[in-house]
Amino acid sequence: MALTDIVERVKDLLYSSSVGEKPPLRIASSSAAESVSGPLLTFNVASNEGQEIKAGDILSVRSASGLATAFVLYVTSISTDAITCVNGYVGTDVAGADSGELDNAVLEQNAPSSATEYAIIKSIEAVFDGLLYPHVFIMGTETITPDLAILQSEVPATTEKVRTAYQEIANVVQAIPVDLEKDLHTTLSSTGKLVQYGASDGSTVYLTVEKRYLSSDTLPEDVEACVATGSAALAMGGDVAAANMARASKDSQRRGERDITNTLWRDFLTMRQAISERLSEDVEYFEISRG
């Protein structure tokens, strides 16, 4: 899964930058026997692991069942290998009732707040949600069987722009007008996206579209590196505006060169620009004239 790869790349960037050494790992029991009582969670770690944990420790782990879910637990007490902690101290609550969510879990012990699984995943989501599109996107295609009664059809929620629309009629490829409506109420479109088109007949409509990347997608190498770099900068408290200002001033730029966060931001912006330029080179614009 792409998200797992990105999380590991972000960790490598964080720990090689200035966060420090990677934290020690603790292993949960193969049957963690999770039990929730109010705000507290009790679960079992593997034999003799409890002696390595103390009250006040932070244990962090990404859920095996849902890659976008992470648990950050604050340890309150230990009884041999039974650990009691604040459930959902940061992040998602463990469901409890022997849910199996922590069975065989590999927990990071006292990871820096910027490098907990939860913080990293949130940073990755922020990059996907707000920092990639419209610079970085998937060039894709969609097909539509036109509804001639309303000349409207739903398209996937990831569709951000329709570049071209064609029909093949009597072996002739013809461009047709098309418009994309976004952010619609779900009663109008279950995906929130709707295309309106001027179809000539019921022949299939072929669309060329820009689609937004999702964290669940398998990413090209350059896109994955870009996302990981931006996520690392965010996890360390990076500020896009600060990075831009740092590039605008020689004095602040020299200071920024000593600031790993701003360095990561500049690397992210450089990568994003390079990908954007590659995408623009891959697209040829042309116009059909009927005279």
Please check whether residue 144 lies inside any domain of the structure.
Answer: yes
CATH of the domain at 102: 2.40.10
Whether 116 maps to a domain, the answer reads no
Q: Are 67 and 6 in contact (CB under 8 A)?
A: no
127 and 264 share one domain: yes
Number of domain units in the chain: 3
95 closest CA partner among 140, 38, 35: 35
CA distance 137 to 38: 44
Full domain range(s) for residue 239: 1-22+121-136+215-281
pTM of the model: 0.82
| Domain co-membership, 44 together with 170 | no
How many residues are present in the chain? Answer: 291
- Is 208:163 a contact under the CB 8 Å cutoff? yes
DSSP state of 28: B
Q: Are residues 128 and 237 in the same domain?
A: yes
| Distance of alpha carbon 29 from alpha carbon 44, whole angstroms | 6
Per-residue pLDDT of the chain (291 residues; tens, 9 = 90+): 578 899 999 999 998 876 778 899 999 999 999 999 999 999 999 999 999 999 999 999 988 777 788 999 999 999 999 999 999 998 889 998 889 999 999 999 999 888 899 999 999 999 999 999 999 999 999 999 999 999 999 999 999 999 999 999 999 999 999 999 999 999 999 999 999 999 999 999 999 999 999 988 999 999 999 999 999 999 887 766 655 554 444 444 444 434 788 888 889 999 999 999 998 876 554 444 444
Same domain, 162 and 188: yes
* 253 in Cβ contact with 246 (< 8 Å): yes
